[in-house]
Amino acid sequence: MNGGNESSGADRAGGPVATSVPIGWQRCVREGAVLYISPSGTELSSLEQTRSYLLSDGTCKCGLECPLNVPKV
């Protein structure tokens, strides 16, 4: 979710760039879809789900920079 080179979308050999996620978060691929799993176990599969989750009160934002900048994350 943060870190790494996300602007190119591919490494120099043409393969996908590995995406780093904040400590406590997980990134997994299930049935061809990428899921991000929050420290509280919430599965997020789209940018809109992720944005809504991160901006709602009472959600675990552990491992993310404060103040939270959704486009950067």
Taking only the tens place, the pLDDT of each residue in 15-37 is 666 677 888 889 999 998 989 99
pLDDT at residue 73, as a whole number: 66
Residue 5 pLDDT greater than 90, yes or no: no
In a domain, 69, yes or no: no
Model confidence at 47, pLDDT cuts 50, 70, 90, reads confident
In a domain, 9, yes or no: no
In a domain, 8, yes or no: no
pLDDT at residue 4, as a whole number: 42
What is the model's pTM?
A: 0.60
Domain count for the chain: 1
Name the residue range of residue 44's domain.
Answer: 26-54
DSSP for 19-64, written as a single string:
PP--TT-EEEEETTEEEEE-TT--EE-SHHHHHHHHHSTT---TTS
**What's the chain's average pLDDT?**
75
In a domain, 47, yes or no: yes
